[in-house]
Amino acid sequence: MSVELHLPDLPEVPITLGPARGGAAPRQRQPWHLRWRDRLAAYLPLLLMTLLASFTWWLVKNSPVTSGEAAAPAPRHEPDYTMTQFALERFDAAGRLTLRIEGATLRHYPDTDRVEVDDVRIRSIAPDGRVTLASAKRALSNGDASELQLIGGARVTSQGVAGRTLEMDGEFLQADLIAERVHSPLPVHVQAEGADLHAAGLDYDQGSRRLVLKGPMRAVFDQPAARR
pLDDT at 3: 43
For residue 60, the one-letter residue type is V
Torsions phi, psi for 72 (to 5 deg): -70, 130
| 81-227: CATH class | mainly beta
pLDDT at 1: 45
Q: Which of 104, 108, 107 is nearest to 85 (CA)?
A: 104
Q: Measured in Å, how far apart are the chain's first and last C-alpha atoms?
A: 170
**Backbone dihedral region for residue 70 (phi beyond 0: left; psi -120 to 50: alpha; all else: beta):** beta
Mean pLDDT by 10 residues, the chain (228 residues): 48 52 57 67 71 71 59 70 91 90 92 90 89 94 84 90 83 91 94 90 89 89 62
Concatenated DSSP letters of 90-134: EE-TTS-EEEEEEEEEEEEETTTTEEEEEEEEEEEE-TTS-EEEE
What are the beta bridge partners of residue 118?
Answer: 105, 138
Q: Which of 113, 111, 196, 184 is nearest to 152 (CA)?
A: 184
Question: DSSP label at 3?
Answer: -
pLDDT at 78: 83
Read off the pTM. 0.63
pLDDT at 139: 94
3-state secondary structure of 160: coil
